[in-house]
A and B are shown apart, each in its own frame.
Chain A
Amino acid sequence: MLRLEAVSAGYGRIAALKAVSLEVREGELVCLIGANGAGKSTTLRAISGLLAPGAGRITWQGETISGLAPREVLARGIAHCPEGRRIFPHLTVRENLEMGALLRRDRAAVARDLAAMHDRFPRLAERSRQAAGTLSGGEQQMLAIARALMSRPKLVMFDEPSLGLAPSLVDAVFALVAEIRAAGTTVLMVEQNAMAALRLADRAYLLETGQVVTQGTGAALLASPAVRDAYLGGATA
């Protein structure tokens, strides 16, 4: 479905990705794990068009999408939930959700999806007219995920969905990601919390300084001594 072939990208002269190749198949939940600065977020930015790859090719359902503008990538069914501030703080919760459906022209279906999101996230419905910046961290993350789904993506990419959340909320976010995949949306997720991510993932890629060093099923990587030593040391103790 999505394929990266020897993709290199960087910021100025700094090469953040060096010939990364990976694949996401339809219906899968794939995780990218690795240390800070390994190139996980850059990979997502290259896919969504926020960053033009310097070399290599990205194909989506057989079509080359590397070099397309973000809105063109989104229009083809790839939604990106970037890291950092995930919402528009000065817009209301409702406006944030509508932003997710910016490119859709089927107004009636958008309205139905909005109602469905409100059923699914009652907190967001209650705060519909409130500025999104006034939500708690967990609520903001829910809003960001809901916004990404408002574009009705075929593939949704989450960048560090658990970052900065309380442990109880982290579980809720991962449960939500699993639910989204179960509903038929393909997921590509970047996570620092490698342990939880690998348990959830069908397959995973381990990145190190801009290169894929290991790949395999979530369970295989979880059992791999290299991964355990390097990234899960503390978590297994």
Chain B
Amino acid sequence: MSGGESANRPGQFMGYALPWGFVALLALVPVVFPDPYLLAVLTSAGIFIIGAISLNLLLGYTGQLSLGHVAFFGLGAYASALATLGFDIAIGFGLRLQVAPQPVWVGFLAAILVAGGFGWLLGRLAFRVRGAFFVILTVCFAQVLRMVALNWVELTQGPMALIGIPGFALWWPGEGVVELTRKDQNYWLVLAVTVLAFLLVRQLVQSRFGRAMVALRANESLARSVGIRVTHYLTVAAVISAGIAGAAGSLFAHYTRIIDPDVFLFIYTVTMVIMVVTGGKGTLWGPVVGGFIFGLMPDLLRGTAPPEVQWVIYGAAMILFVMFLPRGIVPALQALLRRRAA
């Protein structure tokens, strides 16, 4: 956003060399530190970072607080798992809906489409009611889905969980198409999808579409008066945001191989909101930075403190970040760099 004013050398360094170097370093982690625990922690942090990147599109760029974002994550997880496991359920009127087990890539696409479709629905409904009403609507949406997942036992197995979900199958160098069962393979897959999600959001935000979103966040009535179709842009943002969250849910399902209705828990939405807000909403890197800090912190604290103390530290860190860096870490760093440069 605020970074694109000058195309000078340090700007290019910050814009290309640094991020790609960072990605390269992350890609080397499984080679240099082949520790399964470390890879597991980074993989689940990565999945949450994808969720945070998608939430940032709504929260950071359009300024709409979606407190039910986990709904799209959970929808993606269930859609992908059910598509790959297959199902056979009664849909009333004496009819049955049967789906044979599909390959995982079909599940991945189904996750994006189902989550995106619900994003569209919620966008159409909710953008008629803004502000607090939108927030409440999104919270309810996630809660209702959790209830459905808990009670529609024939489809979701309810609290017994969906088990035996296949791992991601991909072409792998030297091995052909294989199911990704190793930690390092899943780590690389999540890393690749995170980079794709980041690039997609960056592309969007730096386009005409992104400028329209920034404009309507700042002044909706002015945006409407210059001819921006506010509802249209908000709906498109909601669909893309939900679709990316659905992709993250699919990765989650095929990585953990088991999902239960807890994928709709409110706490996961809160975690994503914290990642975006502490990192810096409305900045491309904010959710990544916030995601690393709050994705890794619980595990870093695991060995050093009892769980109760961990949560206290977690909460205190969150409060301190919001108190001292209200706009987030990334905007604070940008301001610092600019002051240095000046």
Distance from B57 Cβ to chain A, minimum over Cβ atoms (Å) = 16
Q: Assess the A99–B221 pair: CB atoms within 8 A.
A: no
Is A82 interfacial (CB-CB < 8 Å)? yes
Whole-angstrom CA separation of A84 from B222 in the bound complex: 9
Of B88-96, B125-133, B179-187, B210-218, the one contacting chain A is B210-218
**The one of B214, B221, B227, B229 that contacts A91, using a Cβ cutoff of 8 Å:** B214
- A85-B219 contact given A90-B1, A129-B5, A131-B2, CB 8 Å threshold: yes
Q: Which residue of B lies closest to A74 (CB)?
A: B227
Q: Assess the A88–B214 pair: CB atoms within 8 A.
A: yes
Whole-angstrom CA separation of A99 from B219 in the bound complex: 13
Residues of A within 8 A of B211 (CB): 91, 95, 99
Distance from B155 Cβ to chain A, minimum over Cβ atoms (Å) = 41
Tally of A-B Cβ pairs under 8 angstroms: 61
Distance from A135 Cβ to chain B, minimum over Cβ atoms (Å) = 14
Is A100 interfacial (CB-CB < 8 Å)? yes
Whole-angstrom CA separation of A210 from B144 in the bound complex: 46
- A90-B214 contact given A102-B227, A102-B228, A129-B5, CB 8 Å threshold: yes
Q: Assess the A70–B227 pair: CB atoms within 8 A.
A: yes
Q: Which residue of A lies closest to B282 (CB)?
A: A90
* 15 CB-based A-B contacts, threshold 8 Å: A50-B225, A74-B225, A74-B226, A80-B225, A82-B222, A84-B219, A86-B222, A88-B218, A88-B219, A88-B223, A90-B214, A91-B211, A91-B215, A102-B228, A129-B6
Classify the interface of chain B: helix, strand, loop or mixed: helix
Q: Which residue of A lies closest to B229 (CB)?
A: A71
Whole-angstrom CA separation of A95 from B2 in the bound complex: 13
Distance from B157 Cβ to chain A, minimum over Cβ atoms (Å) = 47
Distance from B234 Cβ to chain A, minimum over Cβ atoms (Å) = 15
Is B302 interfacial (CB-CB < 8 Å)? no
Q: Assess the A130–B218 pair: CB atoms within 8 A.
A: no
Residues of B within 8 A of A57 (CB): none
**The one of A71, A82, A90, A130 that contacts B221, using a Cβ cutoff of 8 Å:** A82
Q: Assess the A99–B224 pair: CB atoms within 8 A.
A: no
Q: Sort chain B's interface into a size bin.
A: 10 to 19
Whole-angstrom CA separation of A95 from B1 in the bound complex: 13
Besides the contacts A82-B225, A91-B211, what 17 more A-B pairs have beta carbons closer than 8 Å? A48-B225, A70-B225, A71-B224, A71-B228, A80-B225, A82-B222, A85-B219, A86-B222, A87-B222, A90-B2, A90-B214, A90-B218, A95-B211, A99-B226, A102-B227, A129-B5, A131-B5
Whole-angstrom CA separation of A100 from B223 in the bound complex: 10
Q: Assess the B227–A71 pair: CB atoms within 8 A.
A: yes
Q: Which residue of A lies closest to B230 (CB)?
A: A70
Residues of A within 8 A of B223 (CB): 88
Residues of A within 8 A of B229 (CB): 69, 71
Whole-angstrom CA separation of A74 from B324 in the bound complex: 44
Q: Which residue of A lies closest to B225 (CB)?
A: A80
Residues of B within 8 A of A86 (CB): 222
Whole-angstrom CA separation of A74 from B227 in the bound complex: 7
Q: Assess the A50–B224 pair: CB atoms within 8 A.
A: yes
Distance from A35 Cβ to chain B, minimum over Cβ atoms (Å) = 22
Whole-angstrom CA separation of A107 from B225 in the bound complex: 20
Whole-angstrom CA separation of A225 from B99 in the bound complex: 83
- A92-B5 contact given A70-B225, A80-B225, A102-B226, CB 8 Å threshold: yes
Contact with B along A63-90 (1 / 0, CB 8 A): 0000001110011000010101111111
Residues of B within 8 A of A151 (CB): 226-227
Residues of B within 8 A of A50 (CB): 221, 224-225
Contact with B along A107-132 (1 / 0, CB 8 A): 00000000000000000000001110
Among A71, A85, A129: residue with most chain B CB under 10 A: A71
Residues of A within 8 A of B214 (CB): 88, 90-91
Residues of B within 8 A of A131 (CB): 2, 5
Whole-angstrom CA separation of A100 from B226 in the bound complex: 6
Contact with A along B223-248 (1 / 0, CB 8 A): 11111110000000000000000000
Among B1, B6, B226, B227: residue with most chain A CB under 10 A: B226
Is A147 interfacial (CB-CB < 8 Å)? yes
Q: Which residue of A lies closest to B223 (CB)?
A: A88
Is A103 interfacial (CB-CB < 8 Å)? yes
Whole-angstrom CA separation of A84 from B219 in the bound complex: 10
Whole-angstrom CA separation of A89 from B217 in the bound complex: 11
Among A90, A95, A147, A151: residue with most chain B CB under 10 A: A90
Distance from A230 Cβ to chain B, minimum over Cβ atoms (Å) = 30
Distance from B231 Cβ to chain A, minimum over Cβ atoms (Å) = 10
Q: Which residue of B lies closest to A90 (CB)?
A: B214
Residues of A within 8 A of B219 (CB): 84-85, 88
Q: Assess the B225–A88 pair: CB atoms within 8 A.
A: no
Residues of B within 8 A of A90 (CB): 1-2, 214, 218
